[in-house]
Structure 1
């Protein structure tokens, strides 16, 4: 593993009544108050849209020195945007391997940030600089994702992902589960925000549920997303009748 705990600092005035974004987001407030501890090589953050899980993973990537636009560690940033308020205040309690990366120049850091919204641009940049073997613009979105996972997710480092399942079929998600398992066993660390019951079923992975409550550990079988998918696949009409009949 690379990081054992992440936390952030905020001024008292930023956390008071009427606090603005991102300090008003429950999971961010908990990050400031208690930090986020990692207990396994692979950690999944799950929660509804707007819960703050993407805000968390982006800040983790920025704090580690990964480009918020996406791509490999240790290279010139593609994005001209300044780090987010949360990202620039992110701090880590790291393992020995993590401390060696964090204390040295940015070129010493290893890892990758993949976010669904900017993935094609980031992967195209990886291709143009010779870090991918194939042409991203000549393959499907999902094939490009899998190529990046196989060729850029190889060595110990911090790998941060925001909804990687967006471009993947069921079979491709299963391939990603296998790759994440191998990567975690190699000494790397993965933090992934996801809505996928397939990915979160990875044995030995830590699951953090994000929501109005903040952050809390969860078991796969108890996840709301797993319960909804199970019930929907068992009886789609139980859900769809409320939508179709209302139109």
Structure 2
């Protein structure tokens, strides 16, 4: 573990408190209670618009990673201003992460976001044009996710097949064994089944811990696979 808690010590009040991103329920939970990390892998699960990407981007920025994606040793655009949430977020270090959080130059990690992953791989020495989109994603894990640090992922399953998602889980598991910590926003019931992972479900309620079996996401997939028409009739008929 590198970090054990994220929090926002200075919270806007008055009119500003009702504006985005402070009005997003999961961000309100973050500002009121903080976000405690209890396992080397944390999954953030929720519908589109629940604030997953907003939160993971702020966590990456707060740790010193570029909001556009990439590793600790690259800045996509040095003039790029941090988001208002990324500017305010702070971390409490886990015992193993005190040295890393004590110095900007010592911080290691990677921010992988679906929209810019191929560009990030290209500028860091990979050759994404020679492989498929999904293979390019996996190349990042094989080549860059190798050392202790904070790895923030925004919907990595977007480019991956079923079997590639399984390979990704293997890489994540190996990364945690060498001291890496992963925070991943996802819609994937396959990824969230990783044994030992901490799962946070985001929604109108804010943020709350859940188990894989209790996730709304998992329940919908079970129902759909058992009887697709029960869902499709609402959009096709």
Report TM bin, short chain. Answer: over 0.9
> Is 1:177 aligned to 2:166, yes or no?
no
Whole-Å separation in 1 of the counterparts to 2:77 and 2:114: 16
* Residue 83 (structure 1) shift: 0.3
Whole-Å separation in 1 of the counterparts to 2:183 and 2:120: 18
Q: 2:142 aligns with which of 141, 150, 153?
A: 150
Instruction: Say if 1:120 and 1:82 are closer, same or farther in 2 by CA, change over 3 A.
Output: same
Q: What corresponds to 1:215 in structure 2?
A: 207
> Is 1:240 aligned to 2:227, yes or no?
no
Calculate the aligned-residue CA RMSD, in Å: 1.3
Q: What corresponds to 1:2 in structure 2?
A: 2
Tell me if the contact between 1:41 and 1:185 (Cα under 8 Å) persists in the aligned partners. no
Per-residue CA deviation, residues 178-225 of structure 1 (Å, 9 max, x unaligned), is 111111122110000000000000000000001110100001011111
Whole-Å separation in 1 of the counterparts to 2:68 and 2:75: 11
Per-residue CA deviation, residues 65-106 of structure 1 (Å, 9 max, x unaligned), is 0000000013334364200000010101112332212222x3
TM norm structure 2: 0.96
- Find the residue that maps to 1:175 and give its secondary structure: helix
Whole-Å separation in 2 of the counterparts to 1:29 and 1:230: 31
Q: What corresponds to 2:108 in structure 1?
A: 110
Q: What corresponds to 1:195 in structure 2?
A: 187
Where structure 2 has 5 or more consecutive residues not aligned to the other structure, the ranges are none
Tell me if the contact between 1:156 and 1:187 (Cα under 8 Å) persists in the aligned partners. yes
Whole-Å separation in 1 of the counterparts to 2:130 and 2:91: 39
Tell me if the contact between 1:69 and 1:79 (Cα under 8 Å) persists in the aligned partners. no
- Find the residue that maps to 1:86 and give its secondary structure: helix
- Find the residue that maps to 1:217 and give its secondary structure: strand
Whole-Å separation in 2 of the counterparts to 1:184 and 1:14: 42
TM norm structure 1: 0.92
Whole-Å separation in 1 of the counterparts to 2:115 and 2:52: 15
Q: What corresponds to 2:13 in structure 1?
A: 12
- Find the residue that maps to 2:68 and give its secondary structure: coil
